[in-house]
Structure 1
Amino acid sequence: MHWIALRWSLESDSPDEAQPLPTPEALGWWALQYTPHVAWQDEALMLEVSACERLWGGRSSLMRQLAHENPAPDAVMRGAQGATSLIALARLRMFERGERRPKDIPAGLPLYTLSAACEHLDLLERLGCRTWGDVAALPRGGLTRRFGAALREALDVAWGLRPEGHSWLTLPDVFEQKLELPALAETAPELMWSANRLLTALQFWLRARQRGARALELQWTLDLKRFNGVNLPPHQQVTVRTAEPTQDMAHLRRLLSEKLALTTLAAPASWLRLRTLETDPWAGASTSFLPEDNRKGDKLHEMVERLSVRLGPQQVVVPVAQADHRPERKQAWRPALQKDKAPQDKSRKEAKETAKAKAAASQPDALYPPWLLPEPLLLEMDGERPCYRGPLSKLIGPQRVEAGWWGGKEDGGQPAMRDYYVAESPEAGLVWIFRERPSARFSPGEVRWYLQGFYA
């Protein structure tokens, strides 16, 4: 077996400006990409890599990879190796003190590097024991009776006479982490410093699970139960939603900052919790050699999400295709961050037909103009020819549309029985007109023409 011991420490001149360390669980999730055998032991993160070190090109290559992928860029990561977890941890403690490696391992290791011996150091030193080998040379029975079985068992593990037992870290199915704030937060933006630690942990979890975040909830615990004579709830929270699954923590951080900037704390907060409400499988980022696909700046959906948080979800809307052949009813507008819900009261066959109709309605039509009027304009007639800035000459058509007969007033529109034409106006150019067929709503001899769109 072969073990690697890792430990992080902040050594910045301005610790307040440095990014906080990820949570211990997050560091363990990061290490799971290198080996499935990861565990915390005292102050160090332990990795057992004997079964996978060849995949990384050997031990030296793996150590360089770990140093290059340091999950805490503002912290110093120190590492050491050993045949057992106790030896790797002891060498790490010596490395942090700047002490040289002894020639005889494990017998020559200093006694302070063995956790099981820390509470007996004074007595062992009076007995003349300075190293692991000195203690191991004592009679087994007397050592166990005087110092307990834990010290003797630790020495057996260090020499490989007893198997090691660890509680290996595993990934939870749902991300949820709670963090105590270093000081009471009186305003919502003050929560962001600690929220960054939770977002870093979320990023490691998403990468390990191959998931993308769609909805998050940031919740904080209020430190008061009553304020100014008003009973307070135990928690407050904000929810952030994205239009597409994402692993971009910078984008989620901006969304949370925008949301918290509009939030007022009912009382100082003492705890913070972040959890995922919804995640989707992560397909990864696609790349392209085309210049137009590699433009700098934010993506469109990211800008829409930030504007929705800043202005309100009802203020930013997007078009949605409808299962209708009437041009004025082919699309509707809904909030950009509102998720489509599957029909609950329809059979599977009806739902499938509706989906096909929506897909058909969303397909572009070569005859459709780029600009539609809010309401069709009734045209004047010159005999039997419709006029709009002069008599119109029909070029293409008719394209017959018969739709809306299944609905009523609740449908929001009128049944349509129309013949559409592309026509040319002497002054306005190409226009899109239609004729309502006499059998629709009028008497047999009455024909009405309408202008509905323009061609650029």
Structure 2
Amino acid sequence: MWLNIPESFHVRLELMSRVESAPALLFGARRLLLQMSGWLQARRLGATAYTFRWCHDVMRAKDAGTGGELVIRTAIPTQNVEHLGKLLAEHLAKVTLLAPAGDIELMATEVFPIVEESRSLLPEACRRGASTALALERMQARFGNECIRRPQICSDHRLEHGQSWSHSNVDKPMKVPSYTECDLPQPTWLLAEPLRLIERDNRPHYQGPLQLLLGPDRIEGGWWHRVKESDEEVTLNVQRDYYLALSPHAGLLWVFQARLAADKTAWFLHGHFG
């Protein structure tokens, strides 16, 4: 006899007694998570998001509403009941029921084909890198989306503007734009503000005279980038010739010579190589 596995998963459970505390809903929710895990395994899928709902008892205050819901997201597709349950527990700990709940529902809202784990004697090696993502999603569930930030690569030749931080969900992949890299190696440490260097005999100095090893690599851009400083709009336009320089005491440095009229021919230190 063949069994037809449903295309979607949506199940409801009537609780044996009315529940007044949100964390107490986890006991019944675990039964539904076990059913969802079986459905996911049968369809060779992993959940990245599921919706948990509760319905208030009919004997409730008028302003309590019919119930509530939580959308739980995971960093990677999973079928693991313990993991799904821990995430739900983190969210329920922050919920206060407006009325006793009599029914709960569970629905798989986002699923993806799951990569089968290796049957190696060293299974942890197959999950390398997953621990960081799982830790971040636990923190996001506990403290909220605004408390977790991630770097975003920006399409900008100016290295100081080539990265920003966003509050996007940890489960969403980061899109990396394509743009032309500069020809010189990129520094490990970037100064918050370029440091103007002294010059002696038309040669920049930083802990001694600098020897220019590579360059110049010209970067121009930012005429479109405007910010307000002291109630005035300032354009962050740059025209710079970058060099890889060697200092007798500070090692390899990333320096540039300004080409704009205000600082023309002036030398600045912008980064260190660690």
In which range does the TM-score fall when normalised by the shorter chain?
0.7 to 0.9
Identical-residue share of aligned pairs (%): 37
In the alignment, is the contact (CA less than 8 A) between 1:304 and 1:336 conserved in 2?
Answer: no
Query: Is residue 2:237 matched to residue 1:415?
Result: yes
1:34-433 matched pairs, under 5 angstroms = 37-38=2-3, 170-223=4-57, 226-227=60-61, 231-285=63-117, 293=125, 299-335=131-167, 337=169, 358-360=177-179, 367-405=185-223, 407-409=224-226, 414-433=236-255
Secondary structure at the aligned position of 2:264 is classed as coil
- By how many angstroms is 1:400 displaced? 2.6
With a CA cutoff of 8 Å and minimum separation of 6, indicate the structure with the bigger relative contact order.
2
Which segments of 5 or more consecutive residues in structure 2 lack a partner in the other structure?
228-233
In the alignment, is the contact (CA less than 8 A) between 1:325 and 1:401 conserved in 2?
Answer: yes
- By how many angstroms is 1:196 displaced? 0.9
| 2: CA distance, partners of 1:284 / 1:297 | 16
Which segments of 5 or more consecutive residues in structure 1 lack a partner in the other structure?
1-35, 39-169, 342-354
Matched residue type, 2:257: R
Secondary structure at the aligned position of 1:197 is classed as helix
Matched residue type, 1:327: L
| 2: CA distance, partners of 1:283 / 1:181 | 35
In the alignment, is the contact (CA less than 8 A) between 1:378 and 1:450 conserved in 2?
Answer: yes
Matched residue type, 1:268: P
Secondary structure at the aligned position of 1:273 is classed as strand
CA 37–266 in structure 1, closer or farther in 2 if over 3 Å, else same: same
| 1: CA distance, partners of 2:209 / 2:96 | 63
- Measured on the aligned residues, the alpha-carbon RMSD in Å equals 3.3
TM-score between both structures, scaled by the size of structure 2: 0.83
CA 375–251 in structure 1, closer or farther in 2 if over 3 Å, else same: farther
Aligned residues: 268
In the alignment, is the contact (CA less than 8 A) between 1:389 and 1:426 conserved in 2?
Answer: yes
Query: Radius of gyration: which is bigger?
Result: 1
Secondary structure at the aligned position of 2:23 is classed as helix
> Where is the helix percentage greater, Structure 1 or Structure 2?
1
| 1: CA distance, partners of 2:74 / 2:96 | 23
Could you report, residue by residue, the CA deviation over 1:389-430 in whole angstroms, capped at 9, with x for unpaired residues?
33322222222323434x3327x9823332222222233222
In the alignment, is the contact (CA less than 8 A) between 1:321 and 1:330 conserved in 2?
Answer: yes
| 1: CA distance, partners of 2:39 / 2:207 | 64
Matched residue type, 1:200: L
Could you report, residue by residue, the CA deviation over 1:190-227 in whole angstroms, capped at 9, with x for unpaired residues?
11111111111111111222222111111111226654
> Where is the strand percentage greater, Structure 1 or Structure 2?
2
| 2: CA distance, partners of 1:291 / 1:245 | 17
| 1: CA distance, partners of 2:21 / 2:182 | 50
